[in-house]
A and B are shown apart, each in its own frame.
Chain A
Amino acid sequence: MKTFQKNFTIQTKRLVYFYGEAQQKGNIEKAEAYRKENDPKKVAELKKRYGGERSEELVKCDLSKKNPDPYLAEQAQKTEKRIKDETVEPDKLEGKYLNAEQVNDNMRKLYKILGKDWDQVKADEAKKAEEDKAAKEKKAEEDKAKAQPAAPEVDPNAPLKFSEIKRIATDSIDKKMDENTKEAVDAVIKELESKIVGKEFKKIDDVKTAIQVAINNMDQKYLMALAGKDMKFSAGNYTFDFKFLNAPGSKDQKYGIQEVNATAIKKVDVSPGAPKEANPDDKGKPGEGNGKPGESKEVTEIRSKVETALKGMYEQYSKMSKEELIKNGDDNKLKLAQDLGLSLKQIEVGLSADLAKLDQSYKIDQLLPNTDTTYFNKNGINVQSFGNFIENLYKEKNIESKEGKDTPNALQYVLQFEGKANEVGAKYDNKDYVAQKGITTYEDFVKNYEADVKSAVATIDKKYVDKIEWNKLPDTVLQNSLYRPVHFQMGKDKPPVIFINEAASRTMWDVAHPPKLKEEPKPKDQKPEEPKEEQPDPNKMKKLPTKTMEAAINKGFENSFDSAFNNDPFAIGTAIKIQLQKLPMTEQYLIPTTYMTPQGFKLEMLHYGPTMKVRVEGITEGVARKYVQKWETQPEPTAQANEKKWSKVLCVDVYGKEKPKPEGWLKTAKSAAAEKEKNGGGPPKPGEAGAKSPDVKPGKPGFEASPGAEESPTEKEVRGKVETSVKKVFDQFSNMSKEDLIKNGFDDRFTLLHAIALNVKTEEKTLMPDLAKLDKTLSKVNIVPGVDATFNKGGICLEKPAAWISDLYKKLGVVEKGPEDRANAFKYTQEFTTKMIALNEKYSSKDFLAKEGIKSYEDFAKKYNQELTTYMGTVDKTKIEWANLPGNTLVYPNYSYASFRLEKDKPVVITVNEGGMRTLWDKANTPKTDEEKAKEDAPDNVDKAKARVEEESKAIFKKYTDLSAKDLVAKGFDNKIKLSDAIMADFKAADVKLLPELKDIKKSYSFKINNDVSIWFNQYGVRPVGMDKFMDGLYKDKKVKNIDTEKGQTPNARKAIDTIMSTMRDTSKKCTDQLGVSKTITTFGEYYKFMTDEITKSVKGLDPKTYEGVEWDKLPDNMIRTPYTAYAEVTKTKDGKEPDLKFNMAYLKGMWDSYNQPGVKKTEFTDLDEAKISKEKADSQPDSPETTEKAKGKVDEEMKALFKKYNDMTPDQIIAGKLDNRTLLVSAIMEDIKGVEGRLQFDLANLNVSHITDIIKDVPVQFNKYGVRPTGLAEWVKKFYKDKKIEDKESKDTPNTRKAEDTISKTIKTINDKYTNSTRADLQKQGILNFDDYYKKYCADLKTSVDALGTGIFDKVEWDKLPGNTFKSPYTYFAEVSRTKDNKDLTYNYNKGMIKMSWDYLT
């Protein structure tokens, strides 16, 4: 009995336990179903639930701790501790996902709504913080002054005993001191006091260990409250600091601290405030000029500027948080050094005017602890190394450097390069070596140094290059930091381009060559001597027989004037040289000669012979060098005989100042002026011999649209440099052979663009000190044929290099490699350029700046970047062919206004090009000239005209869309030729009506009137573009066949029309290609003549066979008539007469306005519409079988698993999970479907159209890019319950819920029917052109209709029986509509997948 009873009791308990287990299992399954759910919104709910459960458990434990049963109380306490230690608070699960800029932007918006100015608030805060800091520092100074002098030297091994500890404020704690933090800080200090005060330690390391142990044993809640914060305190002669771990990110997920730093407090200054005596040794080495004593006031000022700027730079990085550094990629030493190098270069640019005043190098020993020695001189600032600074920064921020992890071989190459460069540097650092080489000037020094570096670098083993991880390098370019003595940049398959950092080389030179003793100043009137090496000794030269020379030179001039470039000093020089070369040449001859070219260049020939020297004034160094190169590398045929002797025939010197020149026998400036005077010609014109230099006025700030007559000397100089540099870049490519272009991959337009951009950026870097001098934007049209450029202090911006590339390909016969394997990447790029062009228009308008309240350039550039980034964020990137892109990255080069970098699954990164941005900024800030104003249309006029044109055009199209199929056939409009004739006749009639209203419109405009047709209008009339598509659509909608071809009524006429049209198109394309390079066509009149002549020629020249077999008698008026939609209406009669062309001026004007450089004007709405249409077209393409199969496979797999889960359930499990209610079961399945959609989002993203799979019997599953949808679930549920022998409790438990659901579903169905019964034309009438429009309208309609049902339908809903007490209509239909009992507002979760299916059905 006893045993029985005992067993019975245990058995019962087991039963109860197992029952509980079963229940728990049901819950686990439910949780499992929930876990698979993927909807981000639900993640928050799940987290909330988890938080609730966690706090519930903690509350339970808290209550149980008070349980009188000691065992239970102990269990509760232990459990509470475990929950706190081993699980994370829900809030801590959440990371930080917004960067500081986004947070600021959001706060700015929020404050705006609250009627406050966020920036002002921040500024006030910063000001207050600054004041507080200053007050704190002041106090610290005072405390320091009061401090006891001379603390004893600290011995790290001396026994230690502390009488007290003192906390030092830290930003991370004191800035955000809430109650919890305060409590934790107090607890830590108290704990430390108890553990170290009064105790004796053998050495400082023991103290550190004691601190670590004490803290790590503290209550977790304190450690958590301080997670991520820094703490600092002082005790005795030490300060101790440590950082509290942020558990979720730390190695073993623990809170606490990992290490303690102890720093000995240095001796305090015994005589605070006492004047510092100059240290007699502190004079600095000769040449270094670090000696502050004795340094001139000017140098001290410059030193101070350099120091302040450098400190700012270092502080900027020191102040950055670890996260910010990581975000910038600065957790990579190489990248950080590169960034610091860039900052340094910016500082150099900023201080270039000051630095230029220096005549030697000056030294800054150690600006800040952990920074290296720095020199500054006229060439810049030379920081010896950023190594210490970076090391220390990483240590402080606890950062592990990533350099070389992804790119170990690239790093190897950099090290090899720098090793070689340093070897050469070491030699050149040696004064004797330099002297030994016979180098006496700095210029020679740099030249030799550079040459030696180049030779040394060329010896780097090829294996280092071969392994470089190009694809992982930004822009596939390898470079070292700009601050290094030798900087290099290298692209794949290209040799490194080497730049000598002249700040460093100048330092080397100056240190080895200290300035000589000051010379006595020369009397003011004494002319400066020519540098010796530039002045050949006249005594050793002979004068050339004048007459022979005169004849040769005159001949040269004559020839040069005959040439096409008669204003070019180079052409003049060449011509002269050719003549001189014809003379016998054995010695050097002195030929003091000057000449003023018509452009104002002064050409001075000093001597000629084997080292002929010509001095040119007014020409930039870059241009001059180019001439030298040309002369050096391309000896003229006439010089063949003397090739050796003439290998270095010319040296060009450039100077800007007026210098006395010997009078020559040719026209000099003076003599030319005198001659002119004599002839009664008045003062010379600009550019004429003897004219005053026009460059006297400094340029006004703003945008200089073209090189003006009033350019300052500086502007002129910079212009010259930019022109030379940019031309150099383009020449580099245009001088390439076809084979070389192809070999380098430049037959791919984008590769070439990248290369151009890279080279221009390199040139830009070199030119920055010059560009920095500009206070406005200068521009140059046709800097090379077809390419325009603007330049300003921000850099260089190129426009339209595309035309130049086309021309290059054409010239060399290169077949352009199209982006066949990157078509979608190309589309993305096109979206970018289209938007960029639209933004440029907007951002160069003063009105826009005023409207947006943009006051600074920085805000301007930021806003531009933001707007472009936001837009590009919406562009579909799912189809980009990542695998076909280098480094799986799509990059748009930074040569114009902005560039982008796009990686899969990462947001697009847009970088604006400062050269381009400043161009827009300057444009917007430059008042428009009257001429410009006169060329612009008032927006009101355009709107008015557009409205009228739209009205007339719509009426015309309506006339035809309203016709029934029968009417169309009856009127003969089932022949496209006849239909287009009729429509065009209507447009011609509309022209008559509209022309008086359009006469004042100055530019051309276009807008989309329906899915297929754009309407162009200008002062010459109105033209539809895209008629063919319209007619095709019309035939399709009305189910009418086009009999001109399909029924063979006029197939030959159609063929002839098509031939004429394509001839006109081809001719137009050819002509347009020439526009970019032609300088002669500058007005519409010229363009019109050019185009009409060419088109007439080509159409009239068509082979007579074109018209063979034309069905003349079936054509209106028995003649061929091409549609008047494009270039011309061409008519041709049966007789042998030539075709007649009536040109379409409105269309040609539109073409001119679009293609022509000035006056491109397209309304933005058109661009957007066009982008949308083309996007929609691409989106409607059928999917490839591979794509479809791949997606189907995934869907099948998921759906099988999903239904298996339900099919495998036992009736008990179904009941336990409350799935014995149809509403709840469908709801649970649909929740699972959402999970499936989440998991498949990337697999489905590439689908264009909807597909279906029948993997589940009786439940066809539709899927498309937006999701997965089973149909026929109701039947399946019925069968499911039947198979499992389960009674559906829906009618018992939730009948009213079901009713509400049905009402909503019915309403939604009505809406859907309304849409699916529409035709395309109906939708077009409603302005629905594509799926986006459809979706928007559909959702709005659906919401309005369901909202209109009122809240009454929910009155009897069985809230307490519904999961989460929430009503949800099934997500099987076009929207899930939900609400809770208390919140009467309905929430809509639109089912984009289903709506897309209905759109696909329609289209």
Chain B
Amino acid sequence: MSDPLLSFDRVAITLGGREILSPASLTVARGEFVCVIGPSGCGKTTLLRAAAGFVAPSAGVVSRGGQAVRGPSREVAFVFQDYGRALLPWRTVAANVSLALEAAQVPAGKRPERIAQVLQTVGLSAHAGKFPAQLSGGMQQRVQIARCLAQQPQLMMMDEPFGALDAMTRESLQDELARLVRDEGLTVMFVTHDLEEAIYLGDRVVALRANPTRDKPSLAALIDVDIPRPRSQLETREHPEFLRLRRELYGFLGHH
């Protein structure tokens, strides 16, 4: 494959004396949607954070666009699971999105246009003047996604973004995300504990193991999802390939 956008070269991460991630190698190509699954404590969030530059690997190198990652960068947008805490409660929806533009020192005159554009993409144009406390969970998460889009990132890291939402909201946001990613041509790494969500959304699924040992390293499986796009909640979930992958990956989530 031509220049991967993101690559992990034998990356291991130790935190608090414990090896969370044993050496793993993995590449993500431009425009790919990679989902990471695994049981609690397997290091999937840590892997994401390493890609975003929040955590330094204890071994190996994380590279982005061919260069080693040294810290956070505006090229990488990070969507947190606890959206309530990731938004500024004292700013309106528009002002929250604006934060990304202010940090990138986009001139004040250009900001309203970009904000309006991004809000329209996530469908929140009508709520631009509201405060986060006035929005539902799903809407708050969309504000966070909007803010990330405003960064015009190369990569979007998403840490169980829909985990705190109810099933219906989750499904509609999944489809919105898929459409958005396709339209904007984004490269995404998406962590989830929901196996079906991972298969539904991903081009590839990375399965991680908890408590890695020498003969059972962190990286358990790297599987391509050969299901055609665009996908739909009802039909894709009954697709034979979907069911096959589900069966194959079921064991990796810690069910035995």
Judge: A and B partners, yes or no: no
